[in-house]
């Protein structure tokens, strides 16, 4: 693999996030947004904003990083030769986007064979950009910049837990999640990728999900790990491929949550 120029790669990541901001804000809380359902059963929405944002990011990569691979939610895989892959989710939380709630975000990760090296969680409407990797762990936003740092250790009964839906995965996964939820101080739902950003910011202790895709989690992994937290699957293994995900503010709270979640098979 060629030597990595971290400064250049970070600049490219910000250029992608800037381009996605333009496209997503052009439609957010507007009328007449084109919506399609990707699911054969149920509702898995994709909008013109999703497609436009990913297309804009891919155009930049074709100009600045044409030899890198790309994995995007809406447009799939593009092969590369450098050993680096840009993992893109143009709108994580499309249901929130459609509802006008500012908990969706743009997820951008730069990964190699060892996993995510750098990540951005960008919330265009609030103007907040959470970034981590290559020695950075920072939030830039309308109130200035601040370092990202996860919460210190605390007992499980003092912890705050987030998940996207009250219904978590299979019946066995739901049982394990309910056991954990019953032990923490407070459980909240529906924050999409913004929950991972809040964990990196030091506001909450745990995020637990099931059924994620690589583009849902690789950017949060980079940001959370840079802020001092850790992200694994429910067995304590790597979570870069998605599936069951446990994001924790510190090793102590991770161990306590893992003891309950690991009772369900992967």
Per-residue model confidence as pLDDT tens digits over 201-220: 999 999 999 999 999 999 99
* Beta carbons within 10 angstroms of residue 126's beta carbon: 14
Query: Domains of the chain (ranges plus CATH)?
Result: 6-147 (3.30.540.10), 156-261 (3.40.190.80)
User: 20 near 53, Cβ under 8 Å?
Assistant: yes
**pLDDT at residue 238 in the model:** 97
C-alpha–C-alpha distance, residues 163 and 184, integer Å: 13
CA distance 120 to 106: 8
pLDDT tens digits for range 120-152:
999 999 999 999 999 999 999 999 999 999 999
What's the chain's average pLDDT?
94
Q: Identify the bridge partners of residue 208 per DSSP, sorted by sequence position.
A: 246
Rg, C-alpha atoms of the chain: 18
Model confidence at 266, pLDDT cuts 50, 70, 90, reads very low
Tokens of 13: 């990541």
Is 90 exceeded by the pLDDT of residue 24? yes
DSSP H or E run through 59: helix 48-64
Mean pLDDT of all residues in 58-80 = 96
Segment 243-253 shows an average pLDDT of 98
Q: Which of 11-25, 31-45, 69-83, 175-189 has the lowest mean pLDDT?
A: 31-45
Residue 32 pLDDT grade (very low, low, confident, very high; cuts 50, 70, 90):
low
Tokens 């960008």 belong to residue: 122
100 by Cβ neighbours in 10 Å (0-12 / 13-18 / 19+) ranks as exposed
Give the number of residues written for the chain.
266
């Amino acid at each position: 693999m060629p030597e990595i120029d971290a400064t250049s790669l970070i600049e490219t990541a910000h250029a992608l996030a800037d381009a996605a901001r333009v496209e997503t804000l052009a439609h957010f809380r507007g009328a007449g947004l084109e919506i399609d359902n990707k699911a054969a059963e149920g509702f898995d929405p994709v909008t013109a904003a999703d497609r436009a944002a990913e297309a804009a990011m891919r155009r930049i990569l074709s100009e600045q990083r044409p030899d890198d691979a790309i994995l995007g939610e809406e447009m799939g895989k593009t092969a590369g030769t450098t050993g680096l892959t840009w993992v893109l989710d143009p709108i994580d939380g499309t249901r929130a986007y459609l509802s006008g709630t500012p908990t969706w975000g743009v997820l951008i990760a730069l990964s190699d064979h060892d996993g995510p090296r750098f990540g951005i969680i960008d919330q265009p409407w609030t103007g907040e950009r959470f970034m981590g990797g290559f020695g950075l762990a920072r939030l830039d936003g309308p109130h200035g910049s601040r370092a990202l740092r996860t919460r210190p250790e605390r007992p499980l009964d003092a912890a705050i837990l987030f998940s996207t839906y009250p219904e978590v995965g299979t019946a066995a996964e739901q049982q394990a999640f309910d056991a954990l939820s019953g032990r923490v101080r407070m459980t909240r739902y529906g924050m999409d990728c913004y929950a991972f950003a809040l964990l990196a910011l030091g506001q909450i202790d745990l995020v637990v999900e099931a059924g994620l895709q690589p583009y849902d989690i690789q950017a949060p992994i980079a940001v959370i790990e840079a802020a001092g937290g850790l992200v694994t699957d429910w067995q304590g293994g790597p979570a870069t491929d998605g599936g069951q995900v446990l994001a924790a503010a510190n090793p102590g709270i991770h161990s306590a949550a893992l003891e309950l979640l690991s009772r369900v098979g992967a």
